Structure 1
Amino acid sequence: MCFYNQKKFACGDWNWTSFAHQCNYEYRTGETCGMRLVNFTEYESKQCRLCEKIETKFRRRSQELERLDRWRREGGSLVATMSRSQQLVSDLEKEIYQLQTERDCKRKALS
């Protein structure tokens, strides 16, 4: 039951930060008992790393979709470019799904 500081993000995720102080159960110098208790919680106004990555991928995906719509409206004859852009959108959707799954697994493991 050693005490650590905690950082809580705007998205609801959190992580451990610095070691605060040692409990009485661990008698060896410099060792911790393994149980973590919150000493102080610092609130961040920004989102966690995973949520920022997910938002970045969503923005990139929406830009590609807008570009594809513009090419279709203009009667684009750039079939190769459009297929590459569609492949990029598909890849981004896979990456978004993987990041969301990672975030959900992390939340479930810690709750």
Structure 2
Amino acid sequence: MCYFDHQLWPCGWWKWGSFRGQCPKEYRTGETCGLKLIYNTYLEPQVCKHCEQIYKKQRRVAKMAEDVKRWRCEGNRRATVEKTEREMMELNLQINQLWTEHEIRRHAINY
């Protein structure tokens, strides 16, 4: 039951911060007992790095979708459209994976 700072972002993402205090169960100097309690919670105003990665990928997918729509109207870029659609599918898979990791971390007690 040693005490640590705690950082919390608006999306629910969190991480442990600096060590702040030792509990009476641990008698060795500089060692922790392994149980973490929150000493202070610091609320971060900006989005977490994980969400920023997700937002960047979503903006890229939106731009690609716009390009594909425009290219289809032009009519002579079939290979480019196919390549871009494959990239969009890969990016959507990456976005889903990042959201899954985000939700797992958000609900984790001991991460």
Question: What TM bracket, shorter-length normalisation?
Answer: over 0.9
The alignment of Structure 1 onto Structure 2 pairs a total of residues equal to 110
Aligned to 1:35: 35
Deviation at 1:107, TM superposition (A): 2.3
The 2-side partners of 1:64 and 1:28 are apart by: 57
The 1-side partners of 2:13 and 2:66 are apart by: 31
Q: Secondary structure at the match of 2:108?
A: helix
Cα deviation digits, residues 49-103 of structure 1 (max 9, x gap): 211111111111101001101111223x111111110011000011011111111
**Structure 1 segment 100-111 matched on structure 2, within 5 A:** 100-110=99-109
Q: Identity rate of aligned residues, in percent?
A: 41
Gaps of 5+ in 2: none
The 1-side partners of 2:38 and 2:108 are apart by: 17
Gaps of 5+ in 1: none
Aligned to 1:74: 74
The 2-side partners of 1:110 and 1:28 are apart by: 26
Runs of 4+ in 1 over 3 A off after TM superposition: none
The 1-side partners of 2:103 and 2:21 are apart by: 31
Q: Secondary structure at the match of 1:97?
A: helix
**Structure 1 segment 1-111 matched on structure 2, within 5 A:** 1-75=1-75, 77-110=76-109
Report the aligned-residue RMSD: 1.3
